[in-house]
Amino acid sequence: MRRVVAYELVSLDGVAEAPDTFITTWDDVLDANLADVIATQDAVVLGRRSYDEWAGYWPTSDVEPFATFINGVAKHVATSTPLTTPWANSTVVDGDLGAHVRDLKAQPGGDIGVHASISVVQALLAAGVVDELRLVVAPHVAGTGRRLLDEVPATALRLTSSTTSPTGHLVLTYRPGAAVE
């Protein structure tokens, strides 16, 4: 069965909105982590806001390895309205998002990624379909903005790996399930 891997950039205080305001440095460890995350993914689930922002940027971007990945991968967009900006391999999620992702997980293929889309990550955590939560935590307090885990029901997470990048970012991987005692 396929896994759902949510990859998010967050500030130390949990803000995930506008990561370009608190991710001000990048290094080889963060590059390698991102390459590792996307290497196993052949589908992504995006929210409408992320889709609209990304559809205007990534098709002409040369920022690798993400540009080649996101432009080629199957994109499932959680929205109740038709997509107005065309982008290759994009389809609208019809109906319940949790049910759609459960169906995707049951199909053959690689991992299903969730990138940037705060409300999608929140909904999929609440639905219990996220298999891995991969966070890059910036050494920065954003102070304001949408926080990744607001409105998410209590969820036990088990830390499976952690490292610190040369620029002070924490690279953390969690799996939902019983916490290690």
Per-residue pLDDT tens listing for the chain (181 residues) = 899 999 999 999 999 999 999 999 999 999 999 999 999 999 999 999 999 999 999 999 999 999 999 999 999 999 999 999 999 999 999 899 999 999 999 999 999 999 999 999 999 999 999 999 999 999 999 999 999 999 899 999 999 999 999 999 999 999 998 544 4
pLDDT given at position 121: 97
**Would 67 be classed as within a structural domain?**
yes
Please count the structural domains in the chain.
1
pLDDT given at position 177: 80
Q: Which residue range is the domain that position 100 belongs to? A: 4-131+148-161+171-176
**Would 137 be classed as within a structural domain?**
no
Q: How many CA atoms lie within 13 A of 126 on its CB side?
A: 15
Full-prediction pTM beyond 0.85?
yes
pLDDT given at position 94: 82
**Would 139 be classed as within a structural domain?**
no
With 0-12 / 13-18 / 19 or more C-beta atoms within 10 angstroms meaning exposed / middle / buried, residue 178 is: exposed
Q: Give me the CATH number covering residue 121.
A: 3.40.430.10
pLDDT given at position 178: 56
pLDDT given at position 105: 97
**Would 181 be classed as within a structural domain?**
no
**Would 76 be classed as within a structural domain?**
yes
CA distance 156 to 133: 12
pLDDT given at position 22: 97
HEC assignment per residue over the chain: CCCEEEEEEEECCCECCCHHHCCCCCCHHHHHHHHHHHHCEEEEEEEHHHHHHHHCCHHHCCCCCHHHHHHHCEEEEECCCCCCCCCCCEEEECCCHHHHHHHHHHCCCCEEEEECCHHHHHHHHHHCCCCEEEEEEECCCCCCCCECCCCCCCCCEEEEEEEECCCCCEEEEEEECCCCC
